Structure 1
Amino acid sequence: MRLTFERIGPARCVVGESPVWSVAEQAWYWVDIVARTIWRLDASTGVASNWIADEMVACLAPKESGGLITGMESGLFSLALEEGGAVNHQRLARPAELGAGMRFNDGRCDRQGRFWSGTMFMDMAAARPNGKLYRYSAEEGLSQAFVEQLLTQNGLAFSPDGRTMYLSDSHPLRQRVWAFDYDTGTGTPSGQRLFVDMRAYPGRPDGAAIDSDGCYWVCGNDDGCILRFTPDGRLDRKLELPMAKPSMCSFGGPGLDTLLVTSISAGQDPADPWAGATILVRPGATGIAETPFRG
């Protein structure tokens, strides 16, 4: 299948991340972590807008009540994006370990509308296993840490029925994706097991998405590709991309048949026109509508 890539504007993200499709708004959101920027693309008009937050925003999800829930440097926040570029910040929770050099990283809602995200030590060269994975809900607030000893938490995703949770560690020393049994009633993962050892495949496992067949699409950071793994962990497709460091993909668009892919320009050749680009591509598959944060 021959792919065509549509670039969204001329902007180059330093660390583009966390694309998500808002069904209610018929719009895409994503972030540039280092630039503290939140991007929004209106699918009907093609207009891209952006807002600058007070600190780095690593991940986000739309809220059912409007606005966004986000993982940032100093905690989880509720954000309201206002006219003129202003951002109204309200901190919801702060884990005790979020000190100097730490921040949240990858995050998304489960199928019931609870928000999941993990922490990391930002200096990846230090390889400090300080990261932990948390759940946040309006009813219960911030959970205990469900997974610990993470270097670079990433790759959160939930199967179409919500009963399997995926998580990766994208650090060069780990490069693994795990699957968990997921209790949709209590929001509790259990039975952690290896899903894919990415050291056997191109690229490091970065952000991910789930399609309507339950397949796991993961960005192969450093190798310019997206890999699709079937629910039994078998690689069955590879999409070659124009950028070397794709960071996360997300299904969306009116038919949920389009992938928005973010990428990273940090450390790349400044002359590379695709480094840091955000693109749209139709891979011949459809996704699952993401559940907004409820509460």
Structure 2
Amino acid sequence: MKAELVLDARNGTGESPVWHAAEQALYWVDIPARTLNRWHASEGPAQWRGDEMIACIAPRAGQPGEWIAGMESGLFSLRPRTDGTLAATPLAPVAHAAPGMRFNDGRCDRQGRFWVGTMLMDMAAGARVGRLYSYAQGDDSATLRLDDLIVPNGLAFSPDGRTMYLSDSHPSVQAVWAFDYDADTGTPRNQRLFVDMQPLPGRPDGAAMDVDGCYWICGNDAGLVHRFTPDGRLDRSLAVPVKKPAMCAFGGPNLDTLFVTSIRPGGVDLSDQPLAGGVFALRPGVTGVPEPAFGG
């Protein structure tokens, strides 16, 4: 199965792809560029720039055109302006565990709560200061749920909303965990190892869920997207023409296209991966689960 180039975006760190069904458009962010990006099959690309790095996004229910975002200093509501900038309204500031941190991976559970992790930007330090928070419509602040993480990533929820998945991308960890998830209270319990990715190609990065309850996760550094069955068995691995796929999301009119964003590392020879930082599409033969909006 060959990956199709959607856009030669040249993103520094292309992350958090989200299919917006009402617009039939794909949104994602480029973290270091501080941009929210949009691609539509007939309208082409668009981009808006913010004042802080934007790590993850989810659409806001009942607020057309607005997004909730995890950024550097906290959670914000974002609205694109016609001049190519973003209007940012603070929702919940966060006191980070250490200087030099930002938000990283995030998404909504099936009830519309926003789950998001933080990390130290100096990944090489391997500092276990990363945290996982949840934030619900009407909350005054984000709720700390887990700590002792390095690079929290790979958030996903099973189709029935009763299992939560979380990974840690750091080379010293490379694990994916599963939790029993109480959808009524938004509480994860019974953390257990779902996949040990140390012996597998690629570090676990961003993830998506299909209708069969299988977990798709990017194998960063390996140029692969892996599919794991609900019992943690590696089912298949699909290739993309770049070394660092970052996150995947199902989209298209029938949710049967797997979009993949990627990273364009600086200071290295890219002659063997000239499309690094691009957005790609795969046709895996399965359909995805619609992503809930925040507060929906």
Give the TM-score normalised by the residue count of structure 2: 0.95
**29, 52, 76: which one pairs with 2:49?**
52
Deviations 1:40-96 (A, max 9, x none): 1124x1411001111100111111122100000110100001112121001111221
Change (3 A) 1:257 1:141: farther
Query: Which residue in the other structure is 2:270 paired with?
Result: 270
Provide the rounded CA distance (Å) in 1 between the counterparts of 2:59 and 2:142: 20
C-alpha RMSD of the superposition: 1.3
List gaps (5 residues or longer) in structure 2: none
3-state secondary structure, aligned to 2:253: coil
The 5-angstrom pairing of residues 134-283 of structure 1 reads 134-267=133-266, 268-271=268-271, 272-283=273-284
List gaps (5 residues or longer) in structure 1: none
Query: Residue type matched to 2:112 in 1?
Result: G
CA contact (8 A) 2:102 2:118 kept: yes
Deviations 1:1-42 (A, max 9, x none): xx2332233320111111011122221110110111111112
Deviations 1:114-139 (A, max 9, x none): 10001100101111111110000113
Deviates more, 1:273-282 or 1:199-208: 273-282
Query: Residue type matched to 1:36 in 2?
Result: R
Query: Which residue in the other structure is 1:68 paired with?
Result: 67
Provide the rounded CA distance (Å) in 2 between the counterparts of 1:234 and 1:175: 16
Provide the rounded CA distance (Å) in 1 between the counterparts of 2:269 and 2:60: 37
Change (3 A) 1:103 1:149: same
Query: Which residue in the other structure is 1:35 paired with?
Result: 33
Deviation at 1:98, TM superposition (A): 6.0
CA contact (8 A) 2:207 2:218 kept: yes
Q: How many residues align?
A: 292
Provide the rounded CA distance (Å) in 1 between the counterparts of 2:205 and 2:190: 22
Provide the rounded CA distance (Å) in 2 between the counterparts of 1:208 and 1:25: 22
Deviation at 1:99, TM superposition (A): 5.5
Give the TM-score normalised by the residue count of structure 1: 0.96
3-state secondary structure, aligned to 1:231: coil
Query: Which residue in the other structure is 1:290 paired with?
Result: 291
CA contact (8 A) 2:256 2:287 kept: yes
Query: Which residue in the other structure is 1:132 paired with?
Result: 131
Provide the rounded CA distance (Å) in 2 between the counterparts of 1:101 and 1:203: 26
Provide the rounded CA distance (Å) in 1 between the counterparts of 2:101 and 2:172: 19
Provide the rounded CA distance (Å) in 2 between the counterparts of 1:144 and 1:55: 22
Query: Which residue in the other structure is 2:81 paired with?
Result: 82
Query: Residue type matched to 2:17 in 1?
Result: P
CA contact (8 A) 2:92 2:142 kept: no
CA contact (8 A) 1:73 1:98 kept: no
Provide the rounded CA distance (Å) in 1 between the counterparts of 2:175 and 2:93: 27
Provide the rounded CA distance (Å) in 2 between the counterparts of 1:10 and 1:143: 35
3-state secondary structure, aligned to 2:55: strand
3-state secondary structure, aligned to 1:125: helix
Deviation at 1:97, TM superposition (A): 1.6
Query: Residue type matched to 1:52 in 2?
Result: R
Deviation at 1:241, TM superposition (A): 1.5
Identity of aligned residues (%): 59
